[in-house]
Amino acid sequence: MNQPLETICGLVERITFHNEENGFCVLRATVKGHKELVTIVGSLPAVSAGEWVEAHGIWIQDRQYGQQFKATALHLTPPTTLEGIEKYLASGLIKGIGPIYAKKLVQAFGEGVFEVIEADSSKLQTIPGIGPYRQQKIIKGWADQKAIRTIMLFLHSYGVSTTRAVRIYKTYGNNAIQLIQENPYRLAQDIRGIGFVTADKIAMHLGIGKDSLIRARAGISYALAKAMDEGHCGLPIETLLYSCQELLEIEQAIVQEAVNLELQGGTVIKDYIGEKGCIFLQGLYHAEKGMAQKLRDLNTSDLPWPPFNINAAINWVEHHNALSLSLSQKQALIEALTHKVTIITGGPGVGKTTLLRSILQILQSKQVKLALCAPTGRAAQRMAQATGMEAKTIHRLLNINPKTGRFNYNEELPLPCDVLIVDEVSMVDVPLMHALLKAVPLNAAVIFVGDQDQLPSVGPGQVLADLIASKVIPFIHLTETFRQGAQSIIVAIARSINLGIMPNLKGYGPTSDFFFIEIPDAEQGLKQIVDLVTTRLPNTFDYSPLHDIQVLCPMTRGIVGSRNLNTELQQALNPPQPTTSVQKFGNWFSLGDKVMQIENNYDKEVYNGDIGFIKSIDIEEGELIISFEGKDVHYDFSDLDEIVLAYAMTIHKSQGSEYPVVIIPLFTQHYPMLQKNLVYTGITRGKKLVILIGQKRALGIAVSNKTMQKRWSLLSKHLCA
């Protein structure tokens, strides 16, 4: 027998849980007729303590949590009681008002406080502590919150989460609803996390036909953007047509017509890889073509240093550093000093750093202006430590303009250098490499350094692989293992995996730098990882859980994925506290947390992959400060969708970094990502100790999986043209 629906009303005292992705929430409310607080479970795009909730649903008895009211529909109205108003204002919803000012405002203006903020804000300055600056902050916070809530109400019925609604507002401002109504498909292009399906759902509701060409063209843009996220610069025509037809559920003739219109409009370009016709996004197509042309132009001009006796220079640098270069290192050095563009690759322990330092010392002695760069802050820092010279991230070297997102150094204003050295080239995608090469003066030489066996870039293209495959640029691959590397089990294990040979996992003594801990299932693996990070490694070796130990995961999802491990490690190392923590976008952020920036923010000058620590949290002001390598960066709470916890991260995100201790979970549940180059990349991030935790079978799958997904790119072809 179906239980009849009831309606209850009450004051929201606190939000126990709110998932801003899907709206699911658990509320604790004061309800008339109930002595104790009532637990209400339902779905809302946004909710704050102090609001009045009307819930329609049924009572249930939960095994773990006891009696709850399960709501099929929830409706909120602004608070009307003084207690509710104070709770509402104290919730941190409006920037500039926290618990202290909420109490002051309610004491001064009572039930009329909202009207004062909206219509008579000059009265706010009668409150001690509120001057012109805080007054404006409160006015803006109130207006922003109203606008965001209006957008939420518009979007929530289409399944768009609070997180996305905030991003939409930040991108489009107060014109958000109008812009969406004009072209809902722009959401899929402009807003991170909103896919074509959501945009399409809104479009259908607004009356855009299923067979319309605007929808088909949007589908093509989406398919190519999705391919770009997977590392491609384009797609074979038949693949594009098939994926669009499947996505849109329309006739192929309509998709073909849409492709023709996109080609005519110049947004996409057709070219061939072998005999296979492909469609490329025009920006990426021209970027690859431009890179190839610039590299050819560089090769046609003279070397930027005067002629000198290279053998004498080798003898000098060996004497200067009290070392003997190997035959392969000497050959590589000669190649680099006799060509305008050179590639140097090799795995750990093969002497890349020694070689690079020797090249730089020789060039420095010839009064050559040097510029050193790498794609990430950590990689640049490592490069500086290894060479003893200044190294910058590519973004900082090119001097990005925060307001425009454009680089100040470009083809019109080249970099002031004679030689550019780029480290960790395997990480650099097509757009960034194109921007870098555009800024290289024609008289300059370029030396690319990297490890060709690592993962390709997260972004589109396979720059290092294509440069090597073209055979147009001199290429030196170092293989000889030197003393330090020869003694390292990490290096031996990495080499074995790279060769597709299952490594020896046993017989290593207590002083070894590598261990494999066999665990039958992921649940036990999770407990083992938390124990290692929080107790065993700090107690036994005095490693810092925050600064020395990094957990690297094949995937984001799953029990031992980076997302769940971050939650568990935060709970063990730095559990959230009411006074020093804030919950935003489904995550708790606490004072002292290790965090990572996940998108480029040119205004703040922090970039995707930068690691920092939360230095302060100001609930009253609605902001926190994160320290990135000693640089303090301010974040509004609404900006925290750009930040994730970083106690654990994916192996992809770790590229270009090194850590004293690396822990890698490997289980068969990671099957989609178990590839040789992924595990190799993870292991080679560890400097002093690497611990693999998991199943031998999972490692065996990765070692034997030599297939790498083919990336559709044209750089190699353009270089050979």
Structural contact between residues 654 and 685, judged by C-beta atoms closer than 8 angstroms: yes
Structural contact between residues 602 and 583, judged by C-beta atoms closer than 8 angstroms: no
Specify the residue for token string 């000093």. 337
Structural contact between residues 585 and 163, judged by C-beta atoms closer than 8 angstroms: yes
What does the alpha-carbon distance between residue 6 and residue 4 come to, in Å, rounded to a whole number? 6
∠ CA 633-391-422, nearest 5°, is 115
**Which residues face 421 on adjacent strands?**
372, 447
**198 burial class (0-12, 13-18, 19+ CB within 10 angstroms)?**
buried
Q: What count of Cα atoms within 13 Å lies in the side-chain half-sphere of residue 327?
A: 0
Structural contact between residues 270 and 279, judged by C-beta atoms closer than 8 angstroms: yes
Which H/E stretch holds residue 334? helix 327-338
* Residues 100-124 as b or e (16 or more Cβ within 10 Å = b): ebbebbbebbeeebbebbeeeeebb
Q: Tell me the backbone φ, ψ of residue 266, rounded to 5 degrees.
A: 85, 5
**Which residues face 624 on adjacent strands?**
617, 635
Rounded to whole angstroms, what are the CA distances from 431 to 127, 326, 448, 612, 717? 52, 36, 16, 26, 17
Q: What count of Cα atoms within 13 Å lies in the side-chain half-sphere of residue 607?
A: 15
What does the alpha-carbon distance between residue 164 and residue 674 come to, in Å, rounded to a whole number? 31
What does the alpha-carbon distance between residue 569 and residue 647 come to, in Å, rounded to a whole number? 7
Structural contact between residues 545 and 534, judged by C-beta atoms closer than 8 angstroms: yes
Structural contact between residues 196 and 185, judged by C-beta atoms closer than 8 angstroms: yes
What does the alpha-carbon distance between residue 94 and residue 114 come to, in Å, rounded to a whole number? 12
Specify the residue for token string 């132009």. 297
Q: Strand (E) positions, 415-571? A: 419-422, 445-450, 475-478, 514-518, 549-553
DSSP reduced 3-state for 466: helix
What does the alpha-carbon distance between residue 577 and residue 504 come to, in Å, rounded to a whole number? 45
Beta strand 38-43 pairing with 24-31: antiparallel
Both structure tokens of 499:
């060769």
**322 burial class (0-12, 13-18, 19+ CB within 10 angstroms)?**
exposed
Which residue numbers belong to the known binding site for ATP? Answer: 349-353
Which residue numbers belong to the known binding site? Answer: 349-353
Q: Tell me the backbone φ, ψ of residue 127, rounded to 5 degrees.
A: -85, 125
Return the closest-CA partner of residue 372 out of 355, 352, 351, 386: 386
Beta strand 445-450 pairing with 341-346: parallel
Both structure tokens of 558:
């799953």
Residues ≥6 apart with Cβ < 8 Å to 64: none
Count the residues in the chain.
721
Structural contact between residues 39 and 606, judged by C-beta atoms closer than 8 angstroms: no
What does the alpha-carbon distance between residue 448 and residue 202 come to, in Å, rounded to a whole number? 47
Both structure tokens of 361:
């010392």
